[in-house]
Amino acid sequence: MRVALGLVLLFLIGPFAVIVAASLSAGETLAFPPQGLSLRWVEKVFEVESFRASFVLSLTLAIGATSAALALGVPAAYALARYKVPFAEILRLIVASPLLVPGIVVGLALLRYLVVPLRFPIVLALFLAHTALILPYALRVVSASLANLRPEIEEAAVLLGASRAGAFFRVVAPNIRDGVLAAMVLGFVTSFNQVPVSLFLSGPGVETLPIDMLGYLEITYDPSVAALSTLLAALSLAIVLIAERFLGLTRYV
Amino acid sequence: MSDYLRTERLTLGYGDTVAVRDLDMSVAKGEFLALLGPSGCGKTTTMRAVAGLLAPRGGKIWLDGVDITRLAANRRQIGLVFQSYALFPHLSVFENVAFGLRLKGLGGAALDRKVAEGLTTVGLESFAGRKIPELSGGQQQRVALARSMVMQPKLLMLDEPLSNLDARLRLEMRAQLQRVQKETGVTMIFVTHDQGEALAMADRIVVMRAGQIEQVGTPEQIYNAPASPFVADFVGFETILEVEGGRLKTAGGPVSLAGLDASVAALAWRPDGVRLGEGPFSGVVRGVSFAGATRQYLLETRLGPIKVEASAALMPRALGEIVAFDLPLETAAKVGTG
């Protein structure tokens, strides 16, 4: 039992430990075990111009796509929970489809049928693709918190003098707040770490951070990519830990 | 006066089903009315329509001299205590009770005083700071009651107010509801499927069946003179025999009964109204159950199955024993007399 648990942990944490160690290397190439210890590659990360640009794009994209997905997902979840929506199950399936279809297919399809023939701006295509990828999370997580809420509490609010909209904002919104925040965190992390879809929707000057890293690695084989990975993993971990601490994120996933 | 709340040919439904048809009902100001009926009879639907949560298919609703049929629910000044209580889980007890008052623009000391009054009425004055999930079912219900009462509604409705409580709490809550109603004089309608509750609490009872009114009357009238075999059955008459051509219609053919009034639709007996041990009829004991002060028997007779309740002090009868019994006219309820 213990051995099995140890192996699972090693399997999960091992690669991460290797990358952290490699990023602290003093040597010139990406290698494990590291040759000597230094922070020079961590410093290098902040000096690479393209990393800065792609970081800003990734950040903007993650925030924009998450907001858009929530703006669509919250009303959709509400409608599905409260009203008899025709073909509700099929609708759920369609919304969930970006999760089921391989990212490569989604990315290629968007490139082939949107960007190339319609001369669709790449940034906009990235934004649409990421929104579609996050939407299933937004819908599922918000639906889960709505399921715990009795529809009568809105009627009770109305009978106490609230309007329909007032009832939503006064008694529904505060009760699904945690779910919405959880969806936000999940959406942000999903978009920020997204590779397969973004791969097809990158071009000169338009690269998300993970794609930029991939490209960098093909040309330069130094430990700065490991250093950047370590920084990003630490950032994601921090976000998830904070979310777990305050929202109990694991309830939703 | 007796038309404080009135419905006129009210017809309600969901989708393709009609739940209530042409309902004419009236409630007097200050009255404590029970809407009694089995589940699915349309009583909760009626309540929702009166509250404005369901738009009627047809008919009108009048409250305090005003036609409220098309008035929005949030302007009807009608309170409703839901069966599930429908408290706001993210708010404290105080804020739950204050919810409607705040929407009215009340604040500060006036709000504090009103909420405190409301909580005192239901005996929860020390619970203001509590969170809803910390409360028991009975306490949650009292918060829901206080939340509606502080709004001083023109009409307060309660949906199955006692069904989620255990037996002891139920008696307590019964007394509390009656006290609140008498103290404040609020017009109150409560929906229930429990005839015992309706008889014990209401000034007047409306018995509903399949979307229509079966009988309206005081608890005494309903209990002693049910208007139909359905109502008789609902209020505990176990033996109901229709009268046809001056004789009782039974499973084993017509039976004559001396002194029978041929104008009634049926005669009905409660188990304790059937006399055991003597009389013109006989039956075989098919079931016995001890109920403290009494013993209940199920007899198989040529009139059909008959339930009898006899004092436990009498000699018990054995299963399979043949016993004599009587259906006395003086203990019979005349069902459906004009």
ipTM field: 0.85
Per-residue pLDDT at A251: 60
Residues of A in contact with B76 (CB under 8 A): 159
In this structure, which long-range contacts are made by residues A239-245, counting pairs with CB atoms below 8 Å and at least 24 apart in sequence?
Answer: A239/A185, A239/A188, A239/A189, A240/A185, A240/A189, A243/A181, A243/A182, A243/A185
CA atoms of A109 and A195, how far apart (whole Å): 15
Distances in Å between the Cα of B284 and the Cα atoms of A129, B241, B256, B304, B320 are 79, 19, 21, 11, 6
Distances in Å between the Cα of B233 and the Cα atoms of A41, B201, B249, B257 are 87, 20, 17, 21
Residue A248 banded pLDDT, cuts 50, 70, 90: low
Higher pLDDT, B36 or A196: B36
Cβ-nearest to A171 among B78, B84, B88: B88
Per-residue pLDDT at A252: 58
Chain B residues contacting A, CB < 8 Å?
A: 51-53, 73-76, 78-80, 82, 84, 86-90, 99-100, 103-104, 144, 147-148, 151
Of the ranges A184-188, A247-251, B95-99, which is most confident?
Answer: B95-99
CB–CB contact A175 B89 (8 Å)? yes
A142-157: pLDDT as tens digits: 998 898 888 899 999 9
Cβ-nearest to A161 among B80, B90, B104: B104
Tokens (6 digits) for A34? 């590291």
Per-residue pLDDT at A249: 59
CA atoms of B244 and B249, how far apart (whole Å): 6
What percentage of chain A carries pLDDT values higher than 90?
Answer: 25
CB–CB contact A150 B79 (8 Å)? no
Taking chain A, what is the end-to-end CA distance rounded to the nearest angstrom? 26
CB–CB contact B104 A174 (8 Å)? no
C-alpha closest to that of B48 among B189, B187, B168, B183: B189
In this structure, the strands spanning B294-301 and B187-192 are unpaired
Contact status of A162 with chain B (Cβ, < 8 Å): yes
CB–CB contact B103 A175 (8 Å)? no
CA atoms of B64 and B256, how far apart (whole Å): 52
Residues of B in contact with A152 (CB under 8 A): 82, 84, 86
CB–CB contact A159 B88 (8 Å)? no
Smallest CA–CA distance from A161 into chain B, residue: B74
Higher pLDDT, A68 or A177: A68
C-alpha closest to that of A167 among A179, A158, A175: A158
Q: Which residue has the tokens 């609708």?
A: A91
Per-residue pLDDT at A237: 85
Q: Give how far A148 is from chain B: nearest CA, Å.
A: 11
Angle CA B246–B252–B256, to nearest 5: 25
Whole-prediction pTM: 0.80
The DSSP call for residue B315 is P
Per-residue pLDDT at A233: 86
Question: Which residues in chain B come in under a pLDDT of 50?
Answer: 1, 338
CB–CB contact B79 A155 (8 Å)? no
Distance of CA A32 to the CA centre of its chain: 29
The neighbouring-strand residues paired with B158 are: B81, B190
CB–CB contact B103 A159 (8 Å)? no
Give SS3 for B19: strand
Per-residue pLDDT at B2: 57
Taking 90 as the threshold, does the pLDDT of residue A112 lie above it?
Answer: no
Q: What's phi and psi for A145, nearest 5 deg?
A: -75, -30
CB–CB contact B86 A158 (8 Å)? no
Per-residue pLDDT at B152: 94
CA atoms of A10 and B244, how far apart (whole Å): 88
Which domains are delineated in chain A? 49-215+233-251 (1.10.3720.10)
- Which strand (E) or helix (H) includes residue A251? none
CA atoms of A88 and B327, how far apart (whole Å): 60
Per-residue pLDDT at B338: 47
Q: Give how far B180 is from chain A: nearest CA, Å.
A: 19
Residue A219 banded pLDDT, cuts 50, 70, 90: confident
Q: Which residue has the tokens 């989604």?
A: A106
Which domains are delineated in chain B? 5-231 (3.40.50.300), 234-335 (2.40.50.140)
C-alpha closest to that of B7 among B52, B63, B54: B63
Distance of CA B217 to the CA centre of its chain: 12
Per-residue pLDDT at A250: 60
CB–CB contact A153 B88 (8 Å)? yes
Taking 90 as the threshold, does the pLDDT of residue A225 lie above it?
Answer: no
